[in-house]
Each structure stands twice: as structure tokens, then as C-alpha cells.
Amino acid sequence: MSFRTSTLQALFEHLAGILDDVVLEGDGGLEIHGINGLREAGPGELSFLSNPRYGGDLAETSAGAVIVPHDALQPANGASLIRTGVPYLALASALSFLADTEALEAGVHPGAHVHPEAELAAGVTVMAGGYVGAGTVVGGGSVIYPGTVVMGRCRIGAEVLLYPGVVVREGCVLGDRVILHPNVCIGGDGFGFAQHEGRHIKIPQVGNVIIEDDVEIGACSCVDRATLGSTVIGRGSKIDDLVMIGHGGKVGAHTLIVAQSGMAGSAELEEGVVLGARAGVLGHLTVGAGSKLYSRAHVTKSLPPGSVVSGNPARPHAKQLKHEALLGKMEALMARVAELEREVAALKE
Amino acid sequence: MSFRTSTLQALFEHLAGILDDVVLEGDGGLEIHGINGLREAGPGELSFLSNPRYGGDLAETSAGAVIVPHDALQPANGASLIRTGVPYLALASALSFLADTEALEAGVHPGAHVHPEAELAAGVTVMAGGYVGAGTVVGGGSVIYPGTVVMGRCRIGAEVLLYPGVVVREGCVLGDRVILHPNVCIGGDGFGFAQHEGRHIKIPQVGNVIIEDDVEIGACSCVDRATLGSTVIGRGSKIDDLVMIGHGGKVGAHTLIVAQSGMAGSAELEEGVVLGARAGVLGHLTVGAGSKLYSRAHVTKSLPPGSVVSGNPARPHAKQLKHEALLGKMEALMARVAELEREVAALKE
Amino acid sequence: MSFRTSTLQALFEHLAGILDDVVLEGDGGLEIHGINGLREAGPGELSFLSNPRYGGDLAETSAGAVIVPHDALQPANGASLIRTGVPYLALASALSFLADTEALEAGVHPGAHVHPEAELAAGVTVMAGGYVGAGTVVGGGSVIYPGTVVMGRCRIGAEVLLYPGVVVREGCVLGDRVILHPNVCIGGDGFGFAQHEGRHIKIPQVGNVIIEDDVEIGACSCVDRATLGSTVIGRGSKIDDLVMIGHGGKVGAHTLIVAQSGMAGSAELEEGVVLGARAGVLGHLTVGAGSKLYSRAHVTKSLPPGSVVSGNPARPHAKQLKHEALLGKMEALMARVAELEREVAALKE
């Protein structure tokens, strides 16, 4: 929403320090006041083209400067261009460079509730109404927003952001640079009950949750604590809103889990798996490394590495598409069978 | 749960001031102490019939008075009747008239956390444990419940209700009479990452969320902030619990979005769209004005105005029903083909 | 995560006091320091075998002692065994016996917000940042965690656990030993609107929610208040994370509702129903006692007791499986019809 001002040259130099292949074409002295979409950006703003289907918007943009792929055409308004093979990545860096990040009031606010036996490193911020329990350790530069509760005996890494309303229950572990969005719940009890004479007897959930470095989890998502041992979210994984990770689940490194997906207890995603929206994995199954689940895929058997599946029950996506196509031919097939019946009847006479 | 007492006449006059077509049949002097279902209501209570399939309950009701359609039959107990063409709407008005709304303790509770640079209009209530950040402006008559967090630089309209546990992140805008139910999250970061060498690089989400007048959002629903610009929920739209609106989404005016539905990033619903429970719309698609998605419809292509779709992938509902019917005939078809094979074999001999 | 130490004999005697059929084989003097999975447990730890498919793990375990079914084979390491016909139930009891439960600081923390007109029984804990409204009554031994909000006029039973971030809105009733996990929302407004000239007019939701004894509800789940009367969750029912129970719903006793499931308004589950993950029931329907819904079953018609259904729309599971199998034969069927067409053409010549 709010940006600081920079010359295009200064921005270019920042990007050139991160990316090998950036090229500036145009007026380095241009003052950039913000970043906006191709349709919305004005002469003092930077925009970007990542998806080639928006090429038409590039042609007609009013942006003063645009981050574009190497082969993009010059827009009609003669905008300055920053060319790169990775425009979306360049945008990420440009946003970090230009966004005017809010200066938080560091330290522990008098309205925060930090237990005397909690241990906060230098530079930790606990805002009004934030809670840190006994025996919990929080690393330097981490921020606990208002209304966020970290119960006792947790270990929270450095540079962690726990947005408002987050709950981290007892004994959980978060790595460095973890980001939990509002109302995320880490370490709620797993759903474990022994059936006995029609009653459900609670299995105490004495495990915890371990979230490794650089994980980000979206609003209102839940990662349940293990019955025994740990539920684990591997480093670099990114989880969207309203996702449910069951007790004892193992999520490998660098996975992507899109909104409203879920994994039942003791399921495992190996490294680099992608779950589309509302995908689901039943309990005790393994999804092999690098697999991709389309939206609403419902995995009922373990999948080998590199699987690409969709549907319920999930099957190879190509097969699923064929099934759907066959359904479209059903009506014609019924007509053909009726015609055959007529012809055979005629032949028999 | 608790109602004030009114004569039926006074209630009737209140309704007559709002609705053109109400007619009172019976005893205006009857004292009404509450509102209840047709089966539960007693002689001192009002009930209602809206759905004709509950006509049998009307016949046998013990209610003292009933709001009914113009053509409803008189119940056996001789209850007084308020007739109208819009009984459900009349019920809404009767409930507003009779419900004994809780008197809140107005003003800022000493246990609230209101930043000195926040700006509260006259008549704003911030309950104990509520939080309002720097630079945020709150309009008259709005209520911030305990445990609710409004971060800095937000604009909150008048007569807004933010129930407990709501989070509104920095820079978001809420119109007048907006109602957010418990644990709703507005303005969490969108799910935006650039892929680079198997890693997911965060795209800073510097946009915001704009929620227009008279919007209501159900418990634990999430509206993510845009990467750039705004995610927008149009005026008068009503969103149920556990719904996810992705970053940059545009929801038109007067839509209805039933529980556990979701819209991926940059999707758009035009005015008056209805999403059944667990419906989903993939990213960057548009659902035309007045379209209706049945429960679990999964929209994979943009839809023209007035579409009525169901299934996964979503297709016209009539076609979906036909597909399902065809499946039911598959077994018979296989038997017919087997019979044809026998007959053809016989003919060939 | 943390356990107290016990001899195997003492643990065995505890279990024998609860379960009729436990048998100890081995060294009662063994000191048990914790409980762990068959693969993870060491010589000073207890483990368990419940699911026979992990028999291989039993054979190779390093655990000092294992809870096993009566017919389990002795592991190679000669571990002591506790035999029982209900090993999972025995595990539940062993966990309760050995888990080192956190001693909470009892009483009302000075940073809690308890309304002077609230009524707390002896032994109630309200932690810093917890909120209890006017006229609410809380039974003995109940715990209100930080950031949890119980609004006014509620009745909360004894030995209730309301984990952080829970919201219970006005006038709701919770029985004894209810457990609500973080960010659960009880009593948010139901999704009720009267349609009028393209606008959605709010029906005030003046009912409440009643949660009976021994109910447990998972993180971020929502139970909406009734328009009139009560939404009811029957005693002993267990609800997982991110579940939505619509207004006026009735959930019978001893049901199990797995994560991300939902029930629309005024739907009813009779006693002992099981909903798999992401199952759904449309409004005003009844699911008969003891019915089982597979994951993603979408119930569009009321079901008689003892139903076992899957699919969308939900149908008897056996029929659903047959449908799926028929789809797999579609391609062969099309080939057979093409062959018949060739043969009939040849016959006609």
C-alpha cells in the first residue's frame, strides 16, 4: 500500500545484485513511487509482465517502467524496461526493495503477558495482548502480534512473525523466519480416540509439532500435534489458508499446499509435492517426491514420486481426463446400441 | 434467546410500517413474549410459516400467533395470523422488533489496547482485550469485541460489529454496517510465491482488502490481501463460515457465498452470484452476474452471466444431471451389448 | 512430550484396575520413562501395537515393553508385553497415567478480564488475557486459556478446557468435560437471510448453541447459533478441525465428525453417526443412527439408520464402487460396440 521513492537506476542496481541477467533499457533517472498492475500503473510507477497472456496489457500500459521477460515487446508509451528471465522473481525483489514496511514498536509492550520464566532474545517484539508462556524461548527479531498466544515450553526461532490471533500450544518448535498468518493454530490435539462400547475414549496427544525454517502458513490453518513424537512441516514449505495437517503428519521440504487442502493423520508428503486447492490425502499414505495433486484430488493410495493425479479417487490425471471424455460420449453410445438392436432385429426377421 | 414483551397489535403496526401487504387476523391484544418454531411455540409466542412443506406443523401449532403467507390455512388452535406475501422477511422484522438486544458497555474499556494515534468516533465501543493500531480510524457506533485486533492504518466504517477474535490487518478498509463473525481474518498475506530452483520465494503482499457496506462474513473465514491493489467484497454480500477468498479476488455486490467455499487468487464473481457450500472457482476466472453454483461445483472456466452449474469440473446443471442418469443406465447398457454380441454370433453361424 | 517415570508393574496395576483382560508378561521391575512408536522407542520406553499391519515393526522394536493384542508374537528383543484385547484403549490409559501434565497456575490471573457479574466456581482458572462476560457461570476445575473469550450469559460446566483463542458467544451452554481446541467458535450467527428485491435481509439469530457433556471440538471449527431454539451437539461426540455445523443443526450423541466436514442449517445426525473427512449434509436432512459417510460423501437426501454411503451425490457405498468400476469398463465397451457395428454391417451385405 505505501512505498518509498527510488530512482529506477537504484532499483536496477538492487536487482542486479540479486539476479544475474537483469538489463535496464531506458531512463535510470526516472523516479518510481510505487508498484502496480499493468492496467493500473501510472507514469511514476513500476509494473511487471510475468504471464505472457497479459501481453496486451503491456502494450497499452501507462506505467513508467516495467519488469518484463527478455523477449517482451516495447509498450506503446515507451516505458523503461527491466528485462530478466525471471520477471516474477524480480518483482518479489522489487517489492521488498520499495515497500515501506511498517516500523513496529520493538520490545515488550506493557499490555503484553510474558511469563517471567519465558526467555526472549534481544530485539523480540511482543505487542499488547500478546502472550508467552513459561519456559518458552523466542529468538532475536521475532514479532508476536496482539492477541497471539505462545504457550509454555515452546522454542521459537529468530525473525519469526506470528500475526494476530495465532496460537502455538505447549512444547512446539518453530524454526527461523517462520511466518504464521492470523488465527493459525499449531499443536492442537490430534483427533485420536479408541472406540469402546460405542464410546470414544480420548487418546492423550503428548507429541508436538515441529515447523522448520522458512515455512509460511496461511490464515486459520491447523497443524495438529502428534499422539507420540512430532508432526513435522519441512523447511521452505508454504501452506495456504484453512488447511488441516493431521497428527503425526510429515510434510517434506519445499512443498506447496493450496487453500482448504488436508492431510489425515500420519500421512506423508515427500519433498517438493504440490497440493492443489481442496486436495486431500488419507491417513498413513505417502505421496512421493515431486508429485502434483490437482484441485480436489482425493488420494486413497500411496503415490510414487512424480505422480500427477486428479479426481476422487485420485488417479493419473491423463486417465481422469479420458474418463471424463468417455462420459461425454455415453449418450451417443446408447444411441448406437439402440440402432444396432434395430438392425439385428431386422436381420433376424 | 431473550425477548421483550409486546402486544400483537404493536408488532403488527411495526411490520405495517415496513411492509405494504401485512394483514392482521385475530386478537391484537394478545401479549407476545417470544418467537419460536411452529412445533415449539406456546400460546404466548409468535411463530412463522415460510416453507410450505411445513404446512402440517402450522395446522397443529400451539403458537398464539403466526406469520403466514396470504393463502395459508387457519391452524386448528385458532391462532391469530399476520398474513403477508413475504413471511420470511416479516419474521426478520419481527425478530429485530422483539429481540432483547444486549446493552453493551459503551466506550473504551480500560483493559482495551487503543493506540494513542488511533482515531475513534463518538460512540465506539472497544471491549477489554480489544486492540486498535496506530492511524486506524473507527466510525461511530462500531463495536470491537474482546480479543479482536485491528492493526494500524485501517479505516472502519460506522455501526460495524467485529466479534471476538477477528483480525483485520494493516491498511484494510471496512464500510458501514459490516459484520465480521468470530475469528474472521481480513488482510492476511495472499499465497504468492515465485518458483526459483525448487524454492518458493515470497512475493510481498503490499495490497489490502476493501469490504464495502453491509457485508457480513461468517466465523473463521479468510479474505487475503492483494499482492498489489485490493481484494474487494462488494456491498451487501453475505459470506458464510470457513470461506476463503484469495488475493486480488473481486466479489460483486449482493452475492451469497455458502460455507467452506473458496475463490482462488484474482477470481471474480459478478453481482448477485450464489455459491453453494464447498463451491470453488479457480484463479483469474470470472463468474457472470446472477450465476448459481451448486454445492461442490468446481469452476474451471469462466462462466457467462446467468449460468447454473454443478459438478467437477462444473458444467451446466442440466447436463450434469443427465451424466449422472446415464451412469445409472451403464449396467443395463452392458447387458444389452452382451445380448447383441450373442445375437450377432448366432446370425453369423 | 514429557513423561514421569513408573515401573512396568505399577503401570500394569493401573491398567488392570480399568481393563479386565490385561496380562503382564516379563519384567515388572522395568522402569518406564516414556511412550513412543515401535520404531522410535528405546529400552526404557513403552510402545504399542494396535493395527496388525505394523506387526513387522513389533518384531524389530527396541522398546522395553509393548502393549499388544493377545495373539501378538514376541518381538526379537524379548521386550516385556502387556497383552489385552483392546490395546488402543490400554494405550489411552497408559498415556493418561504416564503423561506429565502441566501444572497450571490456578485462579484468575490479574491480566484476565472477568466481568464482576460473572460467577466462577472454586478451582476455575482464567489465564492472562482470558475474558468472561457478565452473567456467565463457569463450573469447577474449568480452564480458560489466554486469548479465549466467553461472552455474557453463558453456562460452562465443570472440568471444561477452553484452549487459547476460543470464542463462545452470548447465551451458549457447555456441559461438563467439554474440550474446545484453539480458535473454535461457538455461537456465531447462523447464515440466515430473507431475499428481497435482490437484497439479502438479515434474519436475527436469537437462538443459542448447547454442547453436551464430554464433547470435544477441533481447532478452528464453527458451530453456529440457531435462528430460534438451539443448535445441539450431543454428549460424547467428537468433532475434528475446520468443521462447520450450521444453525439449528442437531448432532446426536457419540458421533464422530472428521476434519473439514460440514452440515448445513437444520440438518440432523442421529446417534453414533460417523462423517469421514470433507463429508457434507445438506440442510433439513436427517442421517439415521449409526450411518457412516465416507470421505467427501455429499448427502442430498435423508438416510435411514445404518446407511453406508459415499460419492456426490452420496449413494450406497457398494453402488458407488460399482459405478466406478463400470467407468473403468467404458473404453472396452465402446470397442465392443464398434466391433458389433462392423459385424452387423458385414451381415447386412
Residue with cell 442430498: C300
Q: For residues A86-96, give the mean pLDDT.
A: 94
**A105, burial (CB in 10 Å: exposed 0-12, middle 13-18, buried 19+):** exposed
Evaluate the omega torsion of the peptide bond into residue B69 and state whether it is cis, within 30 degrees of 0: no
Examine the residue annotation and report whether B14 is marked as an active-site residue of this protein: no
Q: Phi and psi of C190, rounded to 5°?
A: -65, 160
Grid cell for residue A37: 498492475
In chain A, count of helices (H) and strands (E)?
A: 4, 40
> In chain A, which residues have their Cβ closer than 8 Å to the Cβ of C256?
193, 200
| Residues whose CB is less than 8 angstroms from the CB of residue B317 and which lie 6 or more positions away in sequence, other chains included | B294, B308, B309, B310
Q: What is the distance between the alpha carbons of residues B302 and B282, in angstroms, rounded to a whole number?
A: 9
Q: What is the distance between the alpha carbons of residues C184 and A172, in angstroms, rounded to a whole number?
A: 20
Q: What is the distance between the alpha carbons of residues A83 and A80, in angstroms, rounded to a whole number?
A: 10
Q: What is the distance between the alpha carbons of residues B12 and C347, in angstroms, rounded to a whole number?
A: 81
Please tell me the predicted confidence (pLDDT) of residue A100.
Answer: 81
Give the neighbor-by-neighbor strand order of the sheet with A125-126: A107-108, A125-126, A143-144, A161-162, A179-180, A216-217, A238-239, A256-257, A274-275, A292-293, A308-310, A315-316
Q: Catalytic: which of C14, C109, C115, C247?
A: C247
Nearest to C259 among A207, A244, A347 (CB): A244
| Residues whose CB is less than 8 angstroms from the CB of residue C323 and which lie 6 or more positions away in sequence, other chains included | B327, B330, C311, C315
Q: Catalytic: which of A113, A115, A181, A247?
A: A247
Q: DSSP states of B324-346 as a string? A: HHHHHHHHHHHHHHHHHHHHHHH
Q: What is the distance between the alpha carbons of residues C91 and C87, in angstroms, rounded to a whole number?
A: 6
Q: What is the distance between the alpha carbons of residues C201 and B12, in angstroms, rounded to a whole number?
A: 19
Contact B53, B38 (CB under 8 A): no
**C-alpha closest to that of B337 among A334, A323, C346:** A334
Please tell me the predicted confidence (pLDDT) of residue C101.
Answer: 74
Q: C228 vs B324: CB contact, 8 Å cut-off?
A: no
Mutation target for B interface from A108, A127, A183: give the one with most B CBs within 10 A: A183
Q: What is the distance between the alpha carbons of residues B49 and B55, in angstroms, rounded to a whole number?
A: 7
Q: Which of residues 315-344 of A touch B (CB under 8 A)?
A: 324, 327, 330-331, 333-334, 337, 340-341, 344
Measuring CA to CA, how many Å separate A41 from each of A48, A240, B283?
Answer: 10, 28, 22
Measuring CA to CA, how many Å separate A92 from each of A88, A259, B127, B195?
Answer: 6, 21, 39, 11
C165-196: pLDDT as tens digits: 999 999 999 999 999 999 999 999 999 999 99
CA torsion B274-B279-B285-B288 (nearest 10°) is -20
- Residue in chain A closest to B206 (alpha carbons) equals A1
Ranges under pLDDT 70 in chain C? 1, 102
Q: What is the distance between the alpha carbons of residues A153 and B162, in angstroms, rounded to a whole number?
A: 32
Q: What is the distance between the alpha carbons of residues C105 and C97, in angstroms, rounded to a whole number?
A: 21
- Residue in chain B closest to A341 (alpha carbons) equals B340
Contact B215, B233 (CB under 8 A): yes
Grid cell for residue C124: 476455575
A107-131: pLDDT as tens digits: 999 999 999 999 999 999 999 999 9
**CA neighbours within 13 Å on the CB side: how many for B153?**
13
Please tell me the predicted confidence (pLDDT) of residue C349.
Answer: 82
In Å, how far from its chain's centre is CA B276?
Answer: 10
State pTM to two decimals.
Answer: 0.96
Q: What is the distance between the alpha carbons of residues B69 and A139, in angstroms, rounded to a whole number?
A: 65
**C-alpha closest to that of C143 among C162, C130, C129:** C162
Residue type, A187: G
Mutation target for B interface from C210, C220, C244, C347: give the one with most B CBs within 10 A: C244
CA torsion C50-C51-C56-C61 (nearest 10°) is -30
As a 3-state breakdown, chain C gives helix, strand, coil percent values, each rounded to 5, of 15, 30, 55
The band of A1, judged by pLDDT with boundaries at 50, 70 and 90, is low
**C-alpha closest to that of B80 among B11, B158, B145:** B11
Decide if B247 touches A, using CB distance below 8 A.
no
Q: Which of residues 187-246 of C touch B (CB under 8 A)?
A: 188-189, 191, 193-194, 196, 198-204, 206-208, 220-222, 224, 227-229, 242, 244, 246
| Bridge partners, B199 (sequence order) | B196
Q: Which of residues 10-39 of A touch C (CB under 8 A)?
A: none
Residue type, C7: T
pLDDT along chain B (349 residues), means of 10: 90 94 95 93 94 89 96 94 95 92 83 97 96 97 97 97 98 98 98 93 96 98 96 98 98 98 97 98 97 98 98 95 86 90 89
Q: What is the distance between the alpha carbons of residues B257 and B293, in angstroms, rounded to a whole number?
A: 10
- Residue in chain A closest to C91 (alpha carbons) equals A203
Please tell me the predicted confidence (pLDDT) of residue B349.
Answer: 82
Q: DSSP states of C14-68 as a string? A: HHHTT-TT-EEES-TTPEE-EE--TTT--TTEEEE--SGGGHHHHHT---SEEEE
Q: What is the distance between the alpha carbons of residues B269 and B286, in angstroms, rounded to a whole number?
A: 6
A159-195: pLDDT as tens digits: 999 999 999 999 999 999 999 999 999 999 999 999 9
Q: What is the distance between the alpha carbons of residues A244 and A254, in angstroms, rounded to a whole number?
A: 17
Contact B331, C323 (CB under 8 A): no
Taking each helix axis as running N to C, give the angle between helix B317-348 and helix C317-348, from 0 to 180 degrees, rounded to the nearest 10: 50
**Number of neighbouring beta carbons within 10 Å of residue A349:** 4
SS3 C314: coil
pLDDT at A2 over 70: yes
Evaluate the omega torsion of the peptide bond into residue B305 and state whether it is cis, within 30 degrees of 0: no
SS3 A5: coil
**Number of neighbouring beta carbons within 10 Å of residue A76:** 11
Please tell me the predicted confidence (pLDDT) of residue B50.
Answer: 84
**Number of neighbouring beta carbons within 10 Å of residue C349:** 5
Contact B72, B84 (CB under 8 A): no
Decide if B182 touches C, using CB distance below 8 A.
yes
CA distance B197 to chain C (A): 33
Give the neighbor-by-neighbor strand order of the sheet with A45-48: A23-25, A80-83, A65-68, A45-48, A34-35
Contact A264, A246 (CB under 8 A): yes
Q: What is the distance between the alpha carbons of residues C249 and C283, in angstroms, rounded to a whole number?
A: 9
Residues C254, C258, C262: CA angle, nearest 5 degrees: 95
B244-284: pLDDT as tens digits: 999 999 999 999 999 999 999 999 999 999 999 999 999 99
Contact B109, B42 (CB under 8 A): no
**C-alpha closest to that of C2 among A171, B75, A339:** A171
Q: Sort strands B286-287 and B308-310 into parallel, antiparallel or unpaired.
A: unpaired
Q: Catalytic: which of B247, B254, B317, B323?
A: B247
Please tell me the predicted confidence (pLDDT) of residue C1.
Answer: 58
**Which sign does the torsion angle of CA B29, B35, B41, B47 carry?**
positive
| Bridge partners, C132 (sequence order) | C114, C150
Name the strand (E) or helix (H) holding C108. Answer: strand C107-108
Q: What is the distance between the alpha carbons of residues B110 and B127, in angstroms, rounded to a whole number?
A: 8
Tell whether ipTM is more than 0.85.
yes
| Residues whose CB is less than 8 angstroms from the CB of residue C22 and which lie 6 or more positions away in sequence, other chains included | C12, C15, C16, C82, C83, C84, C90
